[in-house]
Chain A
Amino acid sequence: MSPRTPGADLPEHPDALWRNPEPKRSYDVVIVGGGGHGLATAHYLAKNHGITDVAVLEKGWLAGGNMARNTTIIRSNYLWDESSAIYEHALKLWEGLEEDLGYPILFSQRGVLNLAHTLQDVRDSVRRVEANKLNGVDAEWLEPDEVRKVCPIVNTSTEIRYPVLGATYQPRAGIAKHDYVAWGFARRADQAGIDLVQDCEVTGFTTDGDRVTGVQTTRGTIGAGTVALCAAGHTSVLTDMLGIRVPIQSHPLQALVSELLEPVHPTVVMSNAVHVYVSQAHKGELVMGAGVDSYNGYGQRGAFHVIERQMAAAVELFPVFARAHLLRTWAGIVDTSPDASPIVGRTAYDNLYLNCGWGTGGFKATPGIGWALAHTIAHGEPHPTVAPFGLDRFVTGALVDEHGAAAVAH
């Protein structure tokens, strides 16, 4: 008989990647939301601008919202110049991120195929390829036989209901391990002296005229020189407290994984028309995403018929998946905007910055928006890559309509 409790001789808990500090009474910068965008913003505030009196407030645990729920696709093949600029800026940062963070993020540039299934799809896709080339983004148009060479398991038969008529291909696109990305940013921010405060929900704001002076939280009131909102699907909950209107609607967006399979899927495939997007994680699961559930929802779950439709599309496009077992499904809450583009920048409050509206595509932007939002906070003026995405565009009419290239139906 062992004198010790069974299990008591387990290995030591590994070193924590960040402290778990009590919040101070005030900070120069308070970031609301400890997901990818909030953590990246904290990292670049410290690294690029030497601003380290910063707190990142997270109501749950770090990176437990959409950062833990997305399908990790990274690409920059958007149609308009404004979008290309921010997403390509992000992609270039992704390419050096492992070195910058000193942490493995399993960034794998395996390319992305965006399939075209109708003649209009083909025209739109070819146009987007040409637009990408003009913006210095790598892009090619592939005919069906070339699609088959890049991804042999795609069903390119002409006999299916919506045959594959071709695809756009961005070779530099890919996937990364979302948790590692968050942990890498968090670790670096923490090392710089930034406080990452978990279990700290913002319940209100204190204001003085056109300035926000602090945030009220479940862990007390915290003074703030500047406040940045990085709360994705919950942004409206915060802006409602401040009386600011933001044109976003929060929807559940579902994704799922299969059991672990041998490597069968060498790239990332997205299809707008029949609607599914699929990659295979390093561990072996097929990771698939759906379109948003139609109604507004904060429940982090969605309806089963949405998943059924997504599976129907997946099995039609990839007959080899037909016998794979579903392991897990979940939903995140995405903040969709009227033009499927983000809303970033200044607000009616002088020292309050907004970062929302990334909708279904925020993960890929993580380092780019962190960089740009940190710059915006440090200089009090929008970084050039986010300047076109201000709240005022809904008044001026200068929308950046990316419903085509956003690639997730909403």
Chain B
Amino acid sequence: MQLIPCPWCGPREEAEFSYGGQAHVPYPDSPAELSDEEWAHYVFFRANPKGRFAERWNHGAGCRRWFNAIRDTATYRFERVYRLDDPKPGVTELARSREEGTAP
């Protein structure tokens, strides 16, 4: 079974986690002013890339905390896990953590 590196508990089996979909989707700033189309995009439309994807995970059978991850949807490899309130890592930052061997 694939191991997922929980930022708080370390590597644990995939079955302990649940998936939360795309990360960094903020609630609209002024919801009352949104058009139907903008609402549709907020509610229903999410990115679906083949490759690197920033997404939310929950360690439900462990610390029960949410975290974010950069994962490759083609290889299923986790490149980076980080706190919910951390900004989305940039491409150069990901490359550096791979070089330094700090990527999970």
A residues sitting closer than 8 Å to B (CB atoms) are: 234, 236-237, 240, 245-250, 294-299, 303-305, 338, 394-397
Q: Is the CB of B44 within 8 A of A303?
A: no
Q: Which residues of A contact B73 (CB under 8 A)?
A: 250, 295-299
Most A C-beta atoms less than 10 A away, residue of B14, B18, B21, B50: B50
Set B2, B41, B53, B55: member contacting A303, Cβ < 8 A: B2
Q: Is the CB of B74 within 8 A of A299?
A: yes
If A245-B41, A247-B46, A395-B37 touch, whether A295 touches B1 (CB-CB below 8 Å) is no
If A295-B71, A395-B40 touch, whether A250 touches B45 (CB-CB below 8 Å) is no
Q: Is the CB of A249 within 8 A of B48?
A: yes
Q: Which residues of B contact A295 (CB under 8 A)?
A: 19, 55, 71, 73, 76
Q: Which residues of A contact B71 (CB under 8 A)?
A: 295
B14 (CB) vs chain A CBs: closest residue? A303
Most A C-beta atoms less than 10 A away, residue of B36, B40, B53: B40
Q: Which residues of A contact B44 (CB under 8 A)?
A: 247, 338, 394
Q: Is the CB of A299 within 8 A of B45?
A: no
A35 nearest CB across to chain B (Å) = 17
Contact with A along B44-63 (1 / 0, CB 8 A): 11101110010100000000
Q: When A and B form their complex, which 3 residue pairs have the shortest distance between CB atoms, in order from nearest?
A: A236-B48, A294-B19, A247-B44
Q: Which residues of A contact B41 (CB under 8 A)?
A: 245
If A295-B19, A296-B73, A298-B73 touch, whether A394 touches B45 (CB-CB below 8 Å) is yes
Contact with A along B1-29 (1 / 0, CB 8 A): 11000000000011100110100000000
A249 (CB) vs chain B CBs: closest residue? B48
B75 interface contact, C-beta 8 A: yes
Give Cα A2–Cα B40 distance, bound, in whole angstroms.
73
Q: Is the CB of A249 within 8 A of B21?
A: yes
Q: Is the CB of A297 within 8 A of B76?
A: yes
B residues sitting closer than 8 Å to A (CB atoms) are: 1-2, 13-15, 18-19, 21, 36-37, 40-41, 43-46, 48-50, 53, 55, 71, 73-76
A300 (CB) vs chain B CBs: closest residue? B74
Q: Is the CB of A296 within 8 A of B53?
A: yes
A339 (CB) vs chain B CBs: closest residue? B44
Q: Which residues of B contact A397 (CB under 8 A)?
A: 36
Q: Which residues of B contact A304 (CB under 8 A)?
A: 1
B2 nearest CB across to chain A (Å) = 6
Q: Which residues of A contact B53 (CB under 8 A)?
A: 296
Give Cα A268–Cα B35 distance, bound, in whole angstroms.
46
Give Cα A126–Cα B74 distance, bound, in whole angstroms.
41
Give Cα A303–Cα B1 distance, bound, in whole angstroms.
7
Give Cα A397–Cα B13 distance, bound, in whole angstroms.
39
Q: Which residues of B contact A248 (CB under 8 A)?
A: 48
Set A237, A305, A338, A396: member contacting B50, Cβ < 8 A: A237
Give Cα A338–Cα B37 distance, bound, in whole angstroms.
15
B57 nearest CB across to chain A (Å) = 9
Give Cα A303–Cα B46 distance, bound, in whole angstroms.
23
Q: Is the CB of B50 within 8 A of A395?
A: no
Q: Is the CB of A245 within 8 A of B45?
A: yes
Q: Which residues of A contact B48 (CB under 8 A)?
A: 236, 246, 248-250, 296
A346 nearest CB across to chain B (Å) = 16
If A240-B49, A249-B48, A299-B76 touch, whether A394 touches B18 (CB-CB below 8 Å) is no
Q: Which residues of B contact A246 (CB under 8 A)?
A: 45, 48
B53 (CB) vs chain A CBs: closest residue? A296
Give Cα A395–Cα B40 distance, bound, in whole angstroms.
5
If A237-B50, A395-B36, A395-B37 touch, whether A296 touches B74 (CB-CB below 8 Å) is no
B49 nearest CB across to chain A (Å) = 7
If A295-B55, A303-B2 touch, whether A249 touches B46 (CB-CB below 8 Å) is yes
Q: Is the CB of A305 within 8 A of B49?
A: no
